[in-house]
A and B are shown apart, each in its own frame.
Chain A
Amino acid sequence: MASVISAESLTLAYEKGKNLIINDVSFTIEQGEFVFITGPSGSGKSTLLKSIYGQIKPSKGTLNVGGFNMKKIKKTQLLQLRRNLGIVFQDYKLINEWTVEKNVVLPLIITGYSLDVQKVQAEKLLSHVKLADQAHKYPLELSGGEQQRVGVARALSKNPFMILADEPTGNLDEFSSGVVWDLLENACDQLNATVLVVTHKIPTIFNIPYRHFIIENGGVHEVH
């Protein structure tokens, strides 16, 4: 299997040389793997995720994502990488002025797909996340669980090679959490996407093999 993420002596800090969040860690993640990242609050889980989609640059060491060196990546390359990622946030990050349907196809709009393709894909994804009847509503008209399902549908809309999810069930009830875990499982199992999930708690029922990293005191340890 090809590695989609490889970190070598990776150090992440908000100020160069100060406030080290992640300190000198190395790991690799292969295509199609499901990875949970857990750890105490403020340990750097979200920071690590941000560095993977290029919101934060490595202070030291190397981080390669999808063939790009994240330390040297150019703006245009970073946007290109992001177009091939699916990202899910705890606070959903939906565009409230857009309908659910339009939110779902945001990655397709960005890539310049035709309106017909967008419509077909929106219908397919919304039915997949059981929100077909909510297509013309606006995000604020939906419950938290429904908004997160829209977020997951958006993440899946371009068949990304990797999905990054930051506390995707953090604000959800048990039922909605179950739906979101199923969707992420399916993305990994059926689409062979790499899925990285930052979470406080690994779900008790999980049907596919996964890896588990714990971030603590600036280090990353894998639980076997």
Chain B
Amino acid sequence: MKSIKEHLMFMLPLMAMLIGIEFILLFNRVTSSYEEKLKNDYSILVVSKRQLDTPFLRSVNEKIDSVEPMDRESIAKEVTSGMQDSAMVAIMKDLPYFFRIHLISYLSLDELKKIKSQLSAVDGILNVEIFGENYHSKHMMFKLVKMILNVFIVMLFIVSLLLVIKQMEVWQLAHKERMAIMEIFGAPMMLRSGILFKIAFIDAFIATVLNIVLFIYIKNRWAGTTDISFIKENQDLLLNISDFLVLFITAIIIVAVSVMSVAIKSSEVPEG
């Protein structure tokens, strides 16, 4: 019973750290997907006296992906609805060209403003509308949530690491005599601490597997039934196969660092 409790005292903070890391991975994926969606749904509106094409606009700014001309006739029809046909002809004659410009990636507001000023300087372009505030406010909110989450995860990570090291010290105390005897007979630190490494690696593996099982459950069961639309929309992003490797390597690094820190501190050999 005591042994199970000791293992849980090590595994729970380790799991908390791994959950934190999984959240960071998840949020990075969601952010990328959100930015991709923003980029796809977004376009800059350009009003021009002359025809524009993609190669020309790319020479103005390389972040421009494509140019899509808007149907002038439908615009003219809307403007002249209820008027005589001659009005339509006259408007078509003077109506400028309208274009939607798509970008290669999600850009910041500053970059959008830069594109606007570059396009505005092109001869024949009458107006450029970037819809910057709408485009940006949602993303800024998203980034703020992400930053708060990251700060929270870093704090959780630090507290959990201290708990892991504390538990390692408890184990070190339990095996102190054995380690001291081995040291007297000349065992190097890695061999003396072998027992700690063994216990910690097994627990690290179990903690990683439990974490993955938890996220598999969240992805396949909980996310499908939840009312939170954000999670429902991003269900596929909740877990990647590569996460197992990332979490396991992270767990091993955490374990190695905490075992080493305890083992170095406990050495009774005087400094040379």
Contacts and interface: CB of A to CB of B under 8 A. Distances in A.
Partners in one complex: yes
Interface of A: 53-57, 72-85, 87, 93-95, 97, 106-107, 109-110
Given A57-B270, A75-B269, A75-B272, A81 B181 contact: no
A177 B180 CA distance: 26
B186 A93 contact: no
A83 to B, nearest CB: 4
A72 B272 contact: yes
> Which of B188, B270, B272 counts the most A-chain CB atoms under 10 A from its CB?
B272
28 contacts: A55-B268, A57-B270, A72-B272, A74-B272, A75-B269, A75-B271, A77-B272, A78-B186, A78-B272, A79-B186, A79-B269, A82-B186, A83-B185, A85-B186, A87-B185, A93-B181, A93-B184, A95-B177, A95-B182, A97-B178, A106-B181, A106-B182, A106-B185, A110-B182, A110-B185, A110-B186, A110-B187, A110-B188
Interface string B160-188: 00000000000000000110011111111
Interface in B185-199: 185-188, 191
A93 B178 CA distance: 9
A87 B272 contact: no
Interface of B is mostly: loop
Contact of A80 (B181, B186, B271): B186
A36 B183 CA distance: 25
Contact of A79 (B178, B181, B188, B271): B188
Nearest to A53: B184
Please provide the 8 A-B residue pairs with the shortest distance between their CB atoms, ordered closest to farther: A82-B186, A74-B272, A83-B186, A79-B186, A110-B187, A75-B272, A95-B178, A93-B181
Contacts of A107: 185-186
Nearest to A106: B185
Contacts of A78: 186, 269, 272
Nearest to B180: A93
Given A95-B178, A95-B181, A73 B187 contact: no
Contacts of A77: 272
Nearest to A158: B185
A110 B187 CA distance: 5
Contacts of B268: 55
B121 to A, nearest CB: 69
A54 B185 contact: no
Nearest to A83: B186
B118 to A, nearest CB: 64
B178 A54 contact: no
A156 B254 CA distance: 40
A55 B186 CA distance: 12
A103 to B, nearest CB: 9
A68 to B, nearest CB: 10
A73 B186 CA distance: 14
Nearest to A154: B185
Nearest to B270: A57
Contacts of B185: 82-83, 87, 106-107, 110
A57 B269 CA distance: 10
A109 B178 CA distance: 14
Q: Which of A84, A94, A110 has the most CB of B within 10 A?
A: A110
B38 to A, nearest CB: 57
B194 to A, nearest CB: 10
A78 B189 CA distance: 13
A49 to B, nearest CB: 11
Interface string B22-34: 0000000000000
A110 B191 contact: yes
Contact of B269 (A54, A95, A97): A54
Nearest to B271: A75
Contacts of B270: 54-57
Contacts of B181: 93-95, 106
A97 to B, nearest CB: 7
Contacts of A97: 178
Contacts of B191: 109-110
Contacts of A95: 177-178, 181-182
A95 B184 CA distance: 12
Contacts of B269: 54, 75, 78-79
Given A75-B271, A78-B269, A94-B181, 13 more contacts: A54-B269, A73-B272, A75-B269, A77-B272, A78-B272, A80-B186, A83-B186, A85-B186, A95-B178, A95-B181, A106-B181, A107-B185, A109-B191
